[in-house]
Amino acid sequence: MIPEKAPEKDCNLCPRLEGFRAENRGKFPDKFNAPVPSFGPKTAELLIVGLAPGLKGANFSGRPFTGDYAGDLLYATLLKFGFAQGNYEARADDGLELKNCRITNAVRCVPPENKPITEEMNTCRPFLVDEIETMENLKTILSLGLISHNAVVKTFGQKISAHKFAHGAMHDMGGITLIDSYHCSRYNTNTKRLTTEMFEDVFEKINEHMRG
């Protein structure tokens, strides 16, 4: 087993996020309210990188995207494409298993208004670096949204100007392929910036790439 470098339950690296966590622990004492660990086997070839836990979703459940609106489309798609097995019931104990796929977030703690600031992105990046470095079979990274894309490109020490975010675009990260998708957020799906078909097209590409 590769030891995972993950933030402590009471991580105090980001004062604003620590303060927000304390507030939420007061308001919702029976919820998870801590940095949300990655989910899925470390041996996976595919890593999905989201932005940050949603307040009443991943921050409550303790599992990325679980209970968040964005999780409905994400987990349905993972089940359809064989990257998950079981039933997604929006609870961390629903027994859902990821197959050859792992999910993490660019920022592990819930940010106020769902918006991490640049400093928090930078402070949390070492955990993403470690996540990527310790996934020995990693072939493909799916970034959900521009902010996640930028975090991944920086993780590889590459220039953002050389890798423009675009839905469905593929970028070479020195042997590992980064694929972009619009984030499967409620806003993006409601406004049709991202449709189910567009999201599934990205997974078709991922499957083709991973088979090739």
As a whole number of angstroms, the distance between CA 18 and CA 6 comes to 16
Which region, judged by CB under 6 A, interacts with ligand URA, from 5-13, 19-27, 58-66, 158-166? 58-66
32 or 173: CB nearest ligand URA:
32
Contact between 54 and ligand URA by CB under 6 A: the answer reads: yes
Contact between 64 and ligand URA by CB under 6 A: the answer reads: yes
Contact between 70 and ligand URA by CB under 6 A: the answer reads: yes
| Torsion sign (Cα): 166, 82, 114, 151 | negative
Q: How far is the CB of 147 from ligand URA (least distance, A)?
A: 9
Please, which of residues 33-52 interact with ligand URA by CB under 6 A?
A: 50-52
Binding mask 142-181 for ligand URA (x = CB under 6 A): --x-------------------------------------
As a whole number of angstroms, the distance between CA 121 and CA 137 comes to 25
Please, which of residues 90-119 interact with ligand URA by CB under 6 A?
A: 105
Contacting residue, 7, 35, 40, 53, with ligand URA by CB under 6 A:
53
Q: At what angle do helices 118-133 and 146-155 cross, to 10 degrees?
A: 60
Q: How far is the CB of 101 from ligand URA (least distance, A)?
A: 14
Contacting residue, 32, 65, 83, 127, with ligand URA by CB under 6 A:
65
Contact between 131 and ligand URA by CB under 6 A: the answer reads: no
Q: How far is the CB of 57 from ligand URA (least distance, A)?
A: 5
Other Cβ atoms less than 10 A from the Cβ of 133: the count is: 12
Alpha helices by DSSP H, listed for 68-195, are 69-80, 118-133, 146-155, 186-190
Count the helix, strand and coil residues of the chain and give each as a percent rounded to the nearest 5. Answer: 40, 15, 50
Say if strands 97-98 and 84-85 run parallel, antiparallel, or are unpaired: antiparallel
Contact between 199 and ligand URA by CB under 6 A: the answer reads: no
Query: Which residues, in sequence order, are bridge partners of residue 191?
Result: none
Please report where in the chains the tokens 């309210």 appear, as a residue. Answer: 33
Q: Is 101 helix (H, G, I), strand (E, B) or coil?
A: strand
How many residues sit close enough to ligand URA to count as binding (CB under 6 A)? Answer: 13
Binding site for ligand URA (CB under 6 A): 50-54, 57-58, 64-65, 68, 70, 105, 144
